[in-house]
Amino acid sequence: MEEELDVREALATGERLGELIVRIEHEDDLLRRVISYLDDDLWIVQKNAIISIMAVVEDRRELHEPLLRKLLVMIRKSEAVPLTLEIAKAIGRFSKIRPDLVRKAVPVIFANFRIGDPKIKVNMAYVLEEIMRQNPVLLGNIVREIMGLLSSPDEMDRLAALNFISALGENKGRYVTPFLPRLFALLNENDELVKVSTIETLSEIAVANPKLRKIIKSKLSEVQEGSELVMKTLQKGLTQIALAEASSGSSPSSP
C-alpha cells in the first residue's frame, strides 16, 4: 500500500518521475498500476501517467490498442488544457508507431470534431493537429476537409483550419501548397483575429519551408494596412522569415 501511495505521489508532484519511468520499463505490475491512474480524479496525475506510459510503451505492442482506446475516451472528457495537450500528443505519437490503429480512429475523431459540443470540438482539434504533425498521410482527404473549414462563416472553424495548416506546414511543403491561394486571400479578411492567425500561419510555413519563402514574403509585404495588432503580427512574421533566410544562408530573393 505504501508503494502505491508513493507512485501516486510521484505522479501528482512530478517528482521522481524519471525514477518511476525506469522502474515501469522493467516491472510489469508497476506499469499496470500506473496505467490504472489514467482514471484518477486529478488531471495532473493522469497527465504524468500518460507521460510515464508513453516513455516505455513503444515496444509493448499488446498495450497499444487498449491504450489508444483509453486515450480516445479521455480526450472527450478532458477539461484541463495541459491534460488535453498530453493526450493529443500521445495519440499523435501512436500515429507514428501504430498508424494502422490510428487510421481506423480518424473517422471517429473527425466526426467528433464536426458535431461535438464546443469542448469536444476543441479537444479533437488538438488531436488532429498532432496527427498532422506526426503522420498527415493518415488523414486521407484532409485538403477537402480543411478547405471546407476555411470557407465556413464560423470564425472558430476558420481558426481551427489555420491551426491545422500550421501543423501540416511542419511537414513537407506539399501538404500546405494547395492552401496558399486561399491563405493569401484571407490576408484581406475583415475579421481581425482570422487575419492575424493567417499572417502567423503563413509566417510559420515560410520559416519551415525555404522553397515557399519568396512567394509568402512577397504576399505578406503587400499588406499595407490593418489594426495595430495586425501590423505588429505582420512585422514579427517578416522578421522571423528574414532570420530564417539568414540562418540558412539564402538571399532574400531566393526561392
Q: How do the domains of the chain map onto residue ranges?
A: 1-56, 65-140, 141-255
User: Measured between alpha carbons, how far is 56 from 144 in angstroms, rounded to an integer?
Assistant: 36
Contact 218, 254 (CB under 8 A): no
User: Measured between alpha carbons, how far is 220 from 235 in angstroms, rounded to an integer?
Assistant: 9
In tens, the pLDDT along 64-77 reads 999 999 999 999 99
Percent helix, percent strand, percent coil in the chain, to nearest 5: 80, 0, 20
User: Measured between alpha carbons, how far is 65 from 18 in angstroms, rounded to an integer?
Assistant: 25
Rounded to the nearest 5 degrees, what angle is found at the Cα of 42, between the Cα atoms of 37 and 44?
85
Instruction: Please give the grid coordinates belonging to residue 172.
Output: 513537407
> Confidence band (pLDDT; 50, 70, 90) for 215?
very high
- 93/255: higher pLDDT: 93
Contact 238, 218 (CB under 8 A): no
Contact 238, 221 (CB under 8 A): yes
User: Measured between alpha carbons, how far is 94 from 102 in angstroms, rounded to an integer?
Assistant: 7
Determine whether domain 141-255 maps to CATH 1.25.10.10. Answer: yes
Contact 67, 53 (CB under 8 A): yes
In tens, the pLDDT along 125-184 reads 999 999 998 998 888 777 788 888 898 898 989 999 999 999 888 876 778 998 999 999
